[in-house]
Structure 1
Amino acid sequence: MNGWKLVYEEFTPQQEALREALCTLGNGYFASRGAAPESSAGGIHYPGTYIAGCYNRLQTQIAGETIENESLVNAPNWLALTFRIEDGDWFDVGNVNVLSYHQELDIKKAILTRTIRFCDPDGRHTRVDQRRLVSIEHPHLAALETSIHAEDWSGSIEVRSALDGQVVNAGVERYRDLNKRHLNSGTAESIADDTFWLEVETSQSRIRIVQAATTRLWRGEQCITPAPAVDQAEGYIAHHYQTRLDPQQPLRIEKIVALYTSRDHAISESGLEARKSVSEAAAFDALASRHIMVWKQLWQRFDFDIEHDDPEEEEKTERTLRLHILHLIQTTSPHVMDLDVGVPARGLHGEAYRGHIFWDELFVFPLFNLRMPEITRALLCYRYRRLNEARRAAQAAGYRGALYPWQSGSNGREESQRLHLNPKSGNWIPDNSRLQRHINAAMVYNIWQYYQVTRDMEFLSFYGAEMILEIARFWSSFTSYNDESKRYEILNVMGPDEYHDAYPHDRRPGLNNNAYTNLMMVWVLLRALELRDILPSQRFSELCQTLNLSKEEFAHWDEVSRRMIIPFHKDEHDNDIISQFEGYEKLTEFDWQDYRKKYGDIQRLDRILEADDDTPNRYKVSKQADVLMLFYLFSSEELGELFAHLGYPFEYETIPRNIDYYLKRTSHGSTLSRVVNSWVLARSNRPGAWPLFAEALDSDVADIQGGTTSEGIHTGAMAGTVDLIQRCFTGIETRGDVLWLNPSLPEGLSSLTLTIRYRQHVLGFHITPSRVRISTEPCAEKPIKIGIVTDVNEFQPGEVREFQL
C-alpha cells in the first residue's frame, strides 16, 4: 500500500458491492462500476454503467397512488467478458478454488487491475490478469485487457465477449418494488469477426444509447481472432471465440468499446458514430499511454502534499483524499464543459438517490473553483438552463421569481419523491424534503463563490446575475410580515437537518423561521443588491428591463434584509443559542445513552424512531449540521456583519457556544455531518477537528453507514474532506478583491503544500504551524491582493514571499 494505490488481497463476497463502487472508473461522460467482467447482477455483484445526464421516468403504483420517479439509467453492460475451459462451466470466481487474488486501483493512472490464480474442479491451475480503463482523453471510449495463462495444462478455451442491454435499475434494495426496466431493445448486429454493436432506447425520454465493441485475441505478437459464433437475443449480443491454450503462450484478449447517445453534440447518428469511433480506436497500450498522460496533467492541478507526525496516518490520509479527488474528477471531469449535466449526489457510481442533483454542489464546487473553475462554470450553466422551470415552480406555488427543486434531474422539475420506504419498518411514509427551500440560497452561494475566485464578469453578467435576481425575488415574495415581532419571517420550510419536517402533533408539514434558511435569505438579498455596484451599468439596466425590476422592489429587498427574524433561545447555562427553528426549545431532550445501548448504531435515528412508532419531530436531535452550516459557510467576520445588519448582537463566543450545543444533539446520520462539524471545530481552534476529519475521510472507504456506499459514493462528503485540507486548514477565503489566508493546522499536521488558481494566477502554498510561503507563477495578469490573517499584501506574478504566523 502507498499513497496512490487502493489494494485488495483477497476476494470477499460480502465486500464486493462496496469495492465495485470504490473501484468505479469514469471520465465525466460515463462511468462503470468496478464489477468483475464475468459477473452479472445478483447477490454479490452489480455491474453498472451510467451516462451523465441520461435520465428516464417510470410510474409505479404504491399505497394506492401512482408514483413517478426519474432515474439515472443503468446503461448496457459493456464489460461482459468471460471464458470456459474444455466446454466446462463459464468462469466464476465463486466456483473455483482461489489460490491468490489481487485487485488494485491505481489512483494516479485511473486504471483498475486484477490478478487471480485459481484451481478449477479438474485440477488445472490458471492465472488471469486484467486491466481496464475508461478513457479520460476520449470520453466515448473504454477498454478491457484480459490475459489468460495456462500454468500446467493445454486444451481448448472458449471466450465470450458481449454487450448486455437486458440490464435494469436494481442497485438499491429499497427501490426494488418500483418499476425498473428503463431500456427498450433496438438493433444488434455483428459486422465483422471482431466487431459488433448494440442499440437500446430509454422508454420515456427516448434517448438512444449505442455501444460498439471490437474484441481481438492475441498470442504473443500475433492476432489470432477466429471467426466467432454469434449469440443474439433481444437487447443482447455476444461473440464466442474458440481457440487453444498451452503453458508456453498466454492468450491476450483486448476489448475496446465506444459509447454514444442521441444527446451527443457534433454527430450525425449515434450508431454510425460509435462504429466509426471503435474502428479507429487504438490498441489498449496506446489508449492507456494517452489516458495516463492526461491524468498526469490533472494531478498537477489537483494533487497536494501533507506531512503528519504519524507516517501511517499521513499515508492513509493522502491515499483516501486522492481517491476522493479521483472520483470527483471521474464524475465531473473537464468533459462536462461540453455537457448539460449537474453533479449527482452519488456520482456516476450507483443508483442511490436515482442520480439526482441536490445541494451537494455547495461542497463540490470549492474544489473546482480553486483548481479548474471552468468545470464549475459548466455545472452552473446546468442550473441556468433550468431557470425557466424554476420560474414555473415558483409561480405554481404562488410566488414570484425562481424556485429551484431540492432534487433535480433532466429538465429541472422537482424530482423529490413523495413517499419513501423505511427499510427498518417496511413502511412507505410521506417525504417532505421538497420543503428544503434553502437549495435556492445554495445556488446563489455557489454563483457568488465562483465569481469571487474567478472574477468572471461575463458569466455573472449573462447567467449568474439573472439567477441571483430571480432567486432574490422568490425569497422576497416567500416572506411574510409579523406584526407582533415587527419583523419578516419564513414559514413552512425544512432546514438542512432533515430530521424535523413538522411540529409535534401537527399533521401539516413544515417549520417556521429556520435560522439557517432565514439568514441565508438575508445574505442572498444583500448579494442581489450588490449587483447594482458590480455589473456594468448597461447590463444591469438591461436585466432590470428584462425582469421588470423596479426601484421599489429593490427598496423592499433592502427592508426585508434588515428586518428578518432570527430565533434564539436559552441553553441550560442561560446563554443565548441560535434556535434551529422557532419553537425548537420546546422539544424534548433525547436519551442518547439509552438508544445507543438499545440499538448500537443510531446514525439513522429517524428510521429507528419511525419503526418504534415515534418521530424525531418530538426531540432536540439533528441528522446533520443545521445552525452550524452558518459557521461552515461564513467566517466570524462575515457573520458579525450579517447579524449587525439585522440589528442582532453577535460575539465570538456565539460560535463555540452553538457548536457545543448542537454537536451533542447530532446523530451524524449524513456523511456531510462530520465534514461540517470538523470544519467548525477546526476554525474555532479546538481539539476534535482531526478525529472528526478522520471519520469523515472514512465515510465511503469504510462504508460507515453500513451499506450506502455500495449504492454510490457521496460526492459532497468526498469533496468536503478535500476542501477541509484545501480551505479550512489553510483558512482560504475569497471576499471582495482579496484572497484571505488564515492557516490553522490541526494538531499532528506539520505541513501542507498545495497549488491553487485564483483569478488566472497559479499560486503555490507551503504552510507549517509557524509560517507560510507563497509563490506565484509568472503570467501576464494584473497583481492580486492576498491577505495573511489581517494584513493585505499585493503580489506580482512570479513573486515568492514568506510570512511568520
Structure 2
Amino acid sequence: YHGHVFWDTEIYLLPFYTLTWPEAARTLLMYRFHTIDGARAKAAAMGWRGAMYAWESADTGAETTPEQVVDPDGRIVDILCGKLEQHITADVAYAVWQYWQATRDEPFLLDAGAEVLLETGRFWTSRAQPESDGYCHIRDVIGPDEYHEHIDDSAFTNVMARWNIRRALDVAALLRERWPERWANLSSRLGLSDTELAQWRTVADTMATGWNPQTGLFEQFAGFFGLEEIDLTAYEGRTVPMDVVLGRDRTQRSKVVKQADVVALLGLLPEEFPGESAAANFRYYEPRCGHGSSLSGAMHGLVAARLGYSDLALHYFRQAVAIDLADNHTTIVGGLHVAALGGTWMTAVFGFAGLSLQSDGVSLNPKLPANWRSLAFSFAWRGRRLKIKIDGTEQLLRATLQAGDPMTLSVNGRQHEVRRELAAACPL
C-alpha cells in the first residue's frame, strides 16, 4: 500500500500486536487518534457529525483514495471506496476497544481511546437515518464485499456501527463512574449532552441489520437474496478474480462475494450469531465467496475452525499461508501481504486454539486439525504473559504464566486458576 493505511491494520494486524506486542499496538492506535481531525473533517464535508475515518489514510488522516483510475483497456473507472466503504470507522473503534479489553491501559483510554470511541459513535448516529418503518437505515455504502457498490443496509456495516455506538455509550458510562472529572472535561470539549447520548441508544436499538430470526441468516445487504446464483465450482480453474470472469455488471447483479463479509462479521462479533445461526450463515456465504482478496481465506479459516469444520479450516489456513510462500496471488514482487499474515495468526490462535477474550477473562476451546501434533503460542493479557501449548497427541493443554499475577483461564468451559503452570485435560 506504499505506506497508506486501510482497514487491514485494525482488523487483521492489531489482534496480533495487541496480544503479542501491546506497545506497538498502542502506537498504531495513536496514529488513529492523531489523525482524528482529518476524520472529523471528512465527516463534516459529507454532511455528518463526529469522526469518519478515511478508507485510505496517510499522514493527516485526509482521504487519499483516488476518485478514478485507468483500467488495463483504457477505460476510466470510478473508485467509490473512499466515499462509500465507511465500515472503516467502526473497524477503528473495534481495534480501540479490543486493545482496552486486553490491556486495561488507562492512560490510553483517557487520553485517546475514549475520544475515538465517542466521535466514531457520534458519526454513526448521524449517518443512520430513522425511516417510516421504525428502523434506522444506512444507505448507499460498500461493505467488505467490494463487488457490490451503492448498497443499502450492509449487515457488516450496520451491525458494526451498532456495536460501535454501544461501546461509545459504555465508555461514556465508565468515564462518568470512574473518572468523573475527566468525563466532565471531555464531554464539555466534545459538546456531548445526556440528551444526545440518549439519542445514540435509540439509534443503536433500532438499527436495521438484515437479521431474519426464522432462518437465522443475515442478508448481506438489502436485496442480496434476490440476486443471481452463480455456481463457483464451475470456475475453480480460473486464474483471475470472478469480477474479471463475469464482468463488473454481472458480478454486481450476482451473489458472488469478493471476500469474507458476513463471515467477517461472524469472525469479529460471534455474539451476534446465537445458537445455530453461526453455522447457518457460514454454510450460506462460504460457497458464494470468490476470495478475490488475500484477506479472505484467513477469516474463513478462523470461522470454520471455531465451528469445528477442521478440514475446511485447514484448507483456508494453507491458502492464506501460500499467498506469499507460493505467490498464489502473483503479487509478491510488491512485498509481503502482511495483513494476510496477521490473518493467518488469527486463524491459528482464535480458530484452532479457540482463544477468546471477554471483559471478564480469557477462554480457550481448542480444535486442532487431525494431523497437527501441537500448537504453541504466547499472548499478553492485562499485564500478564502466558505461554500456551496444546498437545494433540496427549489431549492436553499446558499454560505457563511467564509474567504477572495469577489469573483464571477457562478451558472448554471449565475454570482453572493459573498461578505458575497449569496442565488441563483438553479433548480435541
Q: TM-score range by the shorter chain?
A: over 0.9
What's the offset of the Cα at 1:450? 0.9
* Deviation readout 1:56-113 (Å, 9 max, x if unpaired): xxxxxxxxxxxxxxxxxxxxxxxxxxxxxxxxxxxxxxxxxxxxxxxxxxxxxxxxxx
Whether 2:322 is the aligned partner of 1:698: answer yes
The 2-side partners of 1:594 and 1:624 are apart by 18
Cα RMSD over matched residues? 1.9
Whether 2:186 is the aligned partner of 1:561: answer no
What's the offset of the Cα at 1:576? 4.5
The 2-side partners of 1:480 and 1:538 are apart by 33
Residues 384, 405 of structure 2: 8 Å contact kept? no
Counterpart mapping for 1:97-108 below 5 A = none
Q: Which residue of structure 2 lines up, in the alignment, with residue 499 of structure 1?
A: 147
Q: Which residue of structure 1 lines up, in the alignment, with residue 110 of structure 2?
A: 461
Residues 745, 768 of structure 1: 8 Å contact kept? no
What's the offset of the Cα at 1:734? 1.7
Residues 357, 363 of structure 2: 8 Å contact kept? yes
The 2-side partners of 1:634 and 1:749 are apart by 27
Residues 480, 490 of structure 1: 8 Å contact kept? yes
Whether 2:194 is the aligned partner of 1:551: answer yes
Residue type at the aligned position of 1:788: V
Q: Structure 2: where are the runs of 5+ without partners? A: none
Q: 1:791 to 1:556 in 2, by over 3 A?
A: farther
Pick from 132, 136, 157: which aligns with 1:488?
Answer: 136
What's the offset of the Cα at 1:396? 0.7
SS of 1:671 mapped into structure 2: coil
What's the offset of the Cα at 1:750? 1.9
* Deviation readout 1:473-502 (Å, 9 max, x if unpaired): 000000111212x1111111100011101x
Residues 85, 141 of structure 2: 8 Å contact kept? yes
The 2-side partners of 1:496 and 1:421 are apart by 23
What's the offset of the Cα at 1:783? 3.5
Pick from 579, 584, 590: which aligns with 2:219?
Answer: 579
Q: Which residue of structure 2 lines up, in the alignment, with residue 368 of structure 1?
A: 17
Which structure shows the higher helix fraction? 2
Q: Which residue of structure 2 lines up, in the alignment, with residue 439 of structure 1?
A: 88
Counterpart mapping for 1:494-643 below 5 A = 494-501=142-149, 510-535=150-175, 536-568=179-211, 575-592=215-232, 595=235, 600-602=238-240, 604-610=241-247, 614-635=249-270, 638-640=271-273
Whether 2:22 is the aligned partner of 1:384: answer no
Which structure shows the higher strand fraction? 1
Q: Number of paired residues?
A: 418
* Deviation readout 1:598-618 (Å, 9 max, x if unpaired): xx224x2223333xx734111
The 1-side partners of 2:370 and 2:303 are apart by 15
Residue type at the aligned position of 2:144: P
SS of 1:668 mapped into structure 2: coil
The 2-side partners of 1:734 and 1:601 are apart by 39
The 1-side partners of 2:283 and 2:351 are apart by 19
The 2-side partners of 1:698 and 1:607 are apart by 22
The 1-side partners of 2:172 and 2:406 are apart by 25
Whether 2:401 is the aligned partner of 1:776: answer yes
What's the offset of the Cα at 1:401? 0.2
* Deviation readout 1:133-183 (Å, 9 max, x if unpaired): xxxxxxxxxxxxxxxxxxxxxxxxxxxxxxxxxxxxxxxxxxxxxxxxxxx
Pick from 440, 452, 473: which aligns with 2:101?
Answer: 452
Residues 400, 473 of structure 1: 8 Å contact kept? yes
Q: Which residue of structure 2 lines up, in the alignment, with residue 162 of structure 1?
A: none
TM-score by structure 1 length? 0.50
The 2-side partners of 1:691 and 1:593 are apart by 16
Q: 1:456 to 1:593 in 2, by over 3 A?
A: closer
Pick from 359, 380, 387: which aligns with 1:764?
Answer: 387
The 2-side partners of 1:407 and 1:525 are apart by 23
The 2-side partners of 1:699 and 1:759 are apart by 33
Whether 2:349 is the aligned partner of 1:716: answer no
SS of 1:767 mapped into structure 2: strand
Residues 375, 389 of structure 2: 8 Å contact kept? yes
Residue type at the aligned position of 2:341: M
Residues 679, 689 of structure 1: 8 Å contact kept? yes
Residue type at the aligned position of 1:803: A
SS of 2:261 mapped into structure 1: coil
Q: 1:723 to 1:366 in 2, by over 3 A?
A: same
Q: 1:593 to 1:726 in 2, by over 3 A?
A: closer
Residues 452, 737 of structure 1: 8 Å contact kept? no
What's the offset of the Cα at 1:729? 1.6
Residues 397, 425 of structure 2: 8 Å contact kept? yes
* Deviation readout 1:696-737 (Å, 9 max, x if unpaired): 1101121112x3221222111011112222332211122113
Whether 2:308 is the aligned partner of 1:685: answer yes
Residues 390, 412 of structure 1: 8 Å contact kept? yes
Q: Which residue of structure 2 lines up, in the alignment, with residue 664 of structure 1?
A: 287
SS of 1:549 mapped into structure 2: coil
Residue type at the aligned position of 1:549: L
SS of 1:664 mapped into structure 2: helix
Q: 1:739 to 1:628 in 2, by over 3 A?
A: same
Residues 690, 747 of structure 1: 8 Å contact kept? no
Q: Which residue of structure 2 lines up, in the alignment, with residue 164 of structure 1?
A: none
Residue type at the aligned position of 1:391: R
Q: 1:529 to 1:464 in 2, by over 3 A?
A: same
* Structure possessing the higher radius of gyration over alpha carbons: 1
Q: 1:444 to 1:577 in 2, by over 3 A?
A: same
Q: 1:595 to 1:725 in 2, by over 3 A?
A: closer
Q: Which residue of structure 2 lines up, in the alignment, with residue 356 of structure 1?
A: 4
SS of 2:217 mapped into structure 1: strand
What's the offset of the Cα at 1:565? 1.0
Counterpart mapping for 1:162-561 below 5 A = 353-361=1-9, 362-423=11-72, 425-434=73-82, 435-484=84-133, 486-501=134-149, 510-535=150-175, 536-561=179-204
Residues 408, 416 of structure 2: 8 Å contact kept? yes
What's the offset of the Cα at 1:596? 5.1
SS of 1:803 mapped into structure 2: strand
TM-score by structure 2 length? 0.93
The 2-side partners of 1:742 and 1:453 are apart by 18
Whether 2:393 is the aligned partner of 1:753: answer no
Identity of aligned residues (%): 34
What's the offset of the Cα at 1:594? 5.1
What's the offset of the Cα at 1:356? 1.5
Whether 2:427 is the aligned partner of 1:790: answer no
Residue type at the aligned position of 1:760: G
Q: Select between 723-732 and 520-529 the one with higher mean Cα deviation.
A: 723-732
What's the offset of the Cα at 1:521? 0.8
The 1-side partners of 2:21 and 2:108 are apart by 15
* Deviation readout 1:572-629 (Å, 9 max, x if unpaired): xx944211100111211125355557xx224x2223333xx73411101111011111
Residue type at the aligned position of 2:25: T
Q: 1:533 to 1:576 in 2, by over 3 A?
A: closer
The 2-side partners of 1:701 and 1:563 are apart by 46
Q: Which residue of structure 2 lines up, in the alignment, with residue 801 of structure 1?
A: 422
Q: 1:728 to 1:591 in 2, by over 3 A?
A: closer
Residue type at the aligned position of 1:432: L
